[in-house]
Structure 1
Amino acid sequence: MLRVLENPLYYLDNFQGVLNWISERYADLLSPEETRFVKQFTQLPLASRALFVRLVMRKGCLFRASKLNYEEIGDTRAAALPLLELKWVALDPAISLDELFELLLKPEISQAFQLVTPLKAARKAEQLEALREEYTQEQAFSAWHPASDDVLYRIDNQDLCDRLRLIYFGNYHQDWSEFVLSDLGVYQYEKVEFSSQSRGFGTRQDIEHYEVLHQCRERFNEGEAPADVLQQLASLAARDAHNPWLASRREKLQFQIGQHLEKCQDWPAAYHAYAACRYPGARARAIRVLEKDAQPQAAYDRLIIALQAPESEAEHQLLLRMAPRLRRTLGHPKQPAEPVTQAVRIDLLLPPPQQACYVEGVVQQHLTQDDAPVYYVENTLLNSLFGLLCWPAIFKAIPGAFFHPFHRGPADLHSADFYPRRASDFQACLAQLDSGAYQAAIRTTYASKAGIVSPFVSWEVLDDGLLELALSCIPALHLKKTFERLLLDIKSNRSGLPDLIQFWPAERRYRMIEVKGPGDRLQDNQQRWIAYCARHAMPISVCYLQWQDAQP
């Protein structure tokens, strides 16, 4: 249930909380300018602090005084005076014509430029285009619109506040709305005990490194030459060797640039991007690019090396798919194909539904029986059971995993050492599947942690009935095999699970069902899960649905 925020200065309390948190945990990393800002902020009058935070949390950096109306602040022009003295806010700054048009309403534009018909009646964009050639220089707001009694402010230390937000969250994608959503009860976060070592950034260089990395991403997204961005990424490699979290972010961006170059069919550039990248999947893509670039021997040589120690099931699958093509191209003798484990096949021929719907829903409705209900769960149910059983291991407060109160999961969740760093904790959780204690443990976590954000638990899908059916009908051994595979490669293996699950409560058994509609085929991660389940005698089927009127 959503809560009502009774404190009108909630945003100021949240901002001050961030400053206090940073001062306690990152004081040694702050620049003199940042340290001075934190001290000066607390010395400002209450109304000035509140106004400044309002400006920081609003979009953009230009604000008309007439638009700053906050009952809890009062006279915002008076509140702005101390901010002007500190030069945190500028009064009547020079702005461009485009910025002016963002600030003025259409009648104000007509008044400021004394427009006459037909330009006066034109759309705002057309007015801007007509005036742009004449008005090329920036000037103060008061000079643009002298008839207005309004004043314009510009916040001048937004970059500093963004950097403080980065230090707190460890990223730029989380913002001040996290506090509001938490206060309102939209999101609830696990409370983790933070150690003195629980920091996203260990040195000032880490902060600067992240900022440069963020700039590289922005430049790439804005269309700058990939070669220039890759060159700067290469210069960062030596600086993040001590911080695996930063290194993984750099590698991920390099992999994404490689994907872009591959899409553009720039094979040499794509190969070099992949070959110098350790992000999961980069090695296989480098081999594939060599194949596309008509270098089969080079591709095959690297493939043979990779097959000796595949980095994951996903890579192994891709390598086995490429190997026959490359051998055929090189004139090597054909090798027998590895046997493929097949799932039980279900073929359904049904009349098309009267209204548009998902094929999974059609199959679910068709297969459901009073004594054998079918649920659409896809990747939610088994991931949720894993998240509930292994909650203590997932949310263990180890250095570098959690460094602010708004984590949806550990910061190192997808890193290669996520499991090794918590191996004994996960083993203790999974041991409950052998002792029979797992059901009570899952029920306890389900009750005590209800609604708390987790990277695995889908609270919107899980309910009492589904949970009890799963605990009653899915054998502990099957859950253990599933959870062990999840831990092998969380990023890849948390998806690809079957769409439906059917329970026979009286018989305490179940089956998983992957649904494929007309023309659809199994994806790679689905094939891997199907093969794994079949190898371990876990009941899994693939249902192929056809519509009756589609038959000849």
Structure 2
Amino acid sequence: MNQPAPLYYLHNFNALINTVYSLYDDLITNEERHFYQCFSSLNTNAQALLVRLLSRKGAFFRTQKLRYNEISDIPRAIDILLGCEFIFRPLTARIEELFPVFTKAEWLKVINEKGLHACKKDVLKGYLSEGDDLLPAILAASCDNLIKLNCRDIFNTYKLLFFGNGRQDLTDFITRDLGVFRYEDYLVHKQSRFFNSRQQLDNMLHYYAVQEEFQHLKAYNTPELVSLLSRLPDLQAAGGESYVDKLLNRRIQGAYIQIARQLERLGSLDTALSIYRLCDLPPSRERQVRILHKLRESDQLNKLCKAIILDGSEAEKRVAKQFIAKFKQTDKASSKAYKPPFEVFELKQSEQRVELALAAHLSKHGACFYVENQLFLSLFGLVFWPTIFADVQGAFTHKFQYKPHDLSDVYFTDRRKKEISQGWRRLEKWLAQPDLALAFFNKKQGIANPFVTWVEGLEQVLTLALQNIPANHFEVVFQRLWSNLKENSSGFPDLVLFPKEGGYTLIEVKGPGDRVQSNQARWFEYFAEHGIPHKVAGVVWLD
């Protein structure tokens, strides 16, 4: 593993802001432009110190606690940053901001109460008041000075422009540099950038600013949840036709659904229902069905279920049929449910996972592997690799993406029809000449892909699959994946068996008490419809 250079973080920070400035110089504000230009003019020590501060939590820092071996003159660096107004010396501060920065012993000097030395630090907060002039007192008690960051919001804007989301940060540079992750060499250029207007950027910044509160969602009551919802960007404002507008709309809907789900848990069903009705993102309609069933709203329930059966996804349709049957108090729907072939296997008690134990048992009949989702998804990811990493506007905005931004969006395939068509032809060639597939496998091995799991033995499994699985079976499985990547990317059987006499069988392993999950059941129905060999193996442990 590569060891980072002492100023690795500064190099990465410069790479981030330089990329943003080159791609978005027309969208950033004068203040954001000044930040870039002023930072670029600083000496190395001042730059390094600011990046160190921006990489830490909080906004307040004690100057005597700032110790970094690679920064030679920290006091001078502080003075330079003060001159640029990237930091400042605060005159006041709230208790919540100050309290974590100083030690229990230092706060005891400020409180000056007897009998508190045995208390935990958090207890001391109750002896402090916002009305007190705490900052001078604690600075005197600690014999220290305090500085506060003045540019975190600007840095957050640069990060959002670079990553296109609020989750990633400079640690992604580190994992790449250490060799933990490798990324595809896709194109990132101004024509394919993520944002194309300042309004798009401001809407996304607004969303992520509110989204920070979602980590405390379980502690909120109903009025607080409704208030939180009102602070999110309006769905209509984010409902434009551009790619970014649609993506923001999806993210906001996801937040709406999180809030509605918590309202359900609190028993505020009517409020939750009204929020779900604002969303078309799954599982909004499924949750509406469940609430209407609880409320015994038969007319609304039947109307919604019929609409879902007409245009819903497989998962939604399955739920709709189940609830129509429940409400009518009939078991007709369940009686028609497909039941896959079932075989019982009696095995000696083993410390292995039940799947591995059965795979070992079946190996006498041929090559058997514990693959779960890996087999079909990995080959899918290899076949459609150029599709996944195609140069599409807004799909790739930085060099740390293992998937395009729009992979889960319904319009993903519409934006890549040509590449998908080429993928089908590639599959045909690979099935005729498996060596081509293996050559591509070796070329891409280890590079992050949302579908490919680079596990030991994958090459052997794919080789046998290309030799034994008919072309039309791959085609129908891949077609179902393309129909709904998010919904259909899980639920594949645990094992694949390649018998000595040829062919293959997909086997779902169930130990005592296990049952077939809904996503697995949908795959079994699809396998039966298309003649794909499959079964469920019930394992019974022998004493």
In the alignment, which residue of structure 1 is the partner of 2:77?
A: 79
Is this contact kept in 1: 2:206–2:233, CA < 8 A? no
Instruction: Provide the residue aligned with 1:11 in structure 2.
Output: 9
The normalised TM-score by structure 2 is: 0.91
Shift in Å, 1:48: 0.7
Match 1:480 to one of 470, 475, 493: 475
- Aligned residue for 1:515, secondary structure, equals strand
Using structure 1 for the length normalisation, give the TM-score.
0.89
Does 1:144 pair with 2:138?
yes
What residue in structure 1 maps to residue 127 of structure 2?
Answer: 131
* Secondary structure class of the residue paired with 2:504: strand
Residue 498 of structure 2 is aligned to residue 509 of structure 1 = no
**Range that drifts further, 146-155 or 158-167:** 146-155
Check conservation: 2:493, 2:520, Cα contact below 8 A. yes
Q: Out of 150-159 and 294-303, give the one that drifted further.
A: 150-159
SS at structure 2 position matched to 1:373? strand
Moved more, 383-392 or 62-71: 62-71
Q: Whole-Å Cα distance in 2 between the matches of residues 424 and 95 of structure 1?
A: 58
- Please give the residue correspondences for 1:106-505 in structure 2 after superposition, counting only pairs within 5 Å: 106-109=104-107, 118-126=115-123, 128-129=124-125, 131-132=127-128, 137-140=132-135, 143-146=137-140, 148-222=142-216, 223=220, 225-233=224-232, 235-242=234-241, 243-309=245-311, 311-328=312-329, 339-353=336-350, 355=351, 358-369=353-364, 372-435=366-429, 436-437=431-432, 439-461=434-456, 463-504=458-499
C-alpha distance 385-281 of structure 1, shift in aligned 2 (>3 A):
same
1:336-361 superposed Cα distances (whole Å, 9 cap, x missing partner): 878444322111234444x4x53323
Is 1:24 the equivalent of 2:26? no
Distance 2:94 2:302 in 1: 58
Which residue of the other structure, out of 525, 528, 539, is the alignment partner of 1:534?
A: 528
- Provide the secondary structure at the position in 1 that maps to 2:491: coil
Deviation of 1:308 after TM superposition, in Å, equals 2.4
Cα distance change on mapping 1:347 and 1:94 into 2, 3 Å: same
Query: Quick one: distance in 2 between partners of 1:335 and 1:130?
Result: 63
SS of equivalent to 2:424: helix
Would you say the 8 A contact 2:111–2:128 is kept in 1? no
Distance 1:98 1:403, change over 3 A: closer
Q: Deviations over 1:204-258 (max 9, x none)?
A: 1111111222244334543263333444557342343232111111122222223
Name whichever of 259-268 and 198-207 sits farther off. Answer: 259-268
Instruction: Give the 3 Å change call, closer, same or farther, for CA 256–395 of structure 1 in structure 2.
Output: same
The count of residues paired between Structure 1 and Structure 2 equals 534
Secondary structure of 1:120's aligned partner: coil
Q: Which moved more, 1:372-381 or 1:72-81?
A: 372-381
Tell me, what secondary structure is at the counterpart of 2:264?
helix
* More displaced 10-residue stretch of structure 1: 276-285 or 168-177: 276-285
Give the Cα separation in 2 of the matches to 1:325 and 1:336: 9
CA distance in 1, matches of 2:368, 2:383: 23
CA displacement at 1:262 relative to structure 2:
2.8
Write the distance in 2 (CA, Å) between the matches of 1:228 and 1:380.
43
- When the two chains are superposed, the root-mean-square deviation of aligned CA atoms in Å is 2.6
Give the fraction of aligned pairs with identical amino acids, expressed as a percent. 33
Q: Aligned equivalents of 2:294 and 2:433: distance in 1?
A: 49
What is the CA distance between 1:520 and its match in structure 2?
1.8
Q: 1:283 and 1:463 mapped to 2: Cα distance?
A: 38
- 1:521 positional shift: 1.2
CA contact (8 A) 1:501 1:513 kept: yes
Q: Is this contact kept in 1: 2:325–2:333, CA < 8 A?
A: no
Q: Secondary structure at the match of 1:201?
A: coil
Question: Aligned AA for 2:327?
Answer: L
The answer as to whether partners of 2:54 and 2:152 remain within 8 angstroms in 1 is yes
Per-residue deviation, residues 391-417 of structure 1 (Å, max 9, x unmatched)? 011100100211111112010001001
Q: Is the 8 A contact 1:377 1:461 kept in 2?
A: no
Q: What SS does the aligned partner of 1:514 have?
A: strand
CA contact (8 A) 1:230 1:273 kept: no
Q: Deviations over 1:65-94 (max 9, x none)?
A: 233222222011111111111221123654
Measured in 2, the distance between the counterparts of 1:463 and 1:70 equals 45
Q: Compared with structure 1, are the counterparts of its residues 340 and 438 closer, same or farther at alpha carbon in structure 2 (3 Å cutoff)?
A: farther
* Contact 1:271 1:286 (C-alpha < 8 Å) held by counterparts: yes
Given the superposition, is the C-alpha separation of residues 338 and 107 from structure 1 closer, same or farther in structure 2, using an over 3 Å criterion? closer
1:265 & 1:96 partners in 2: Cα distance?
36
Q: Secondary structure at the match of 1:241?
A: coil
- Specify the SS of the correspondent of 2:237: helix
Contact kept, 8 Å, 1:384 with 1:458, in 2: the verdict is yes
1:111: how far off? 5.7
Q: Are the counterparts in 2 of residues 92 and 151 from structure 1 also a CA contact under 8 Å?
A: no
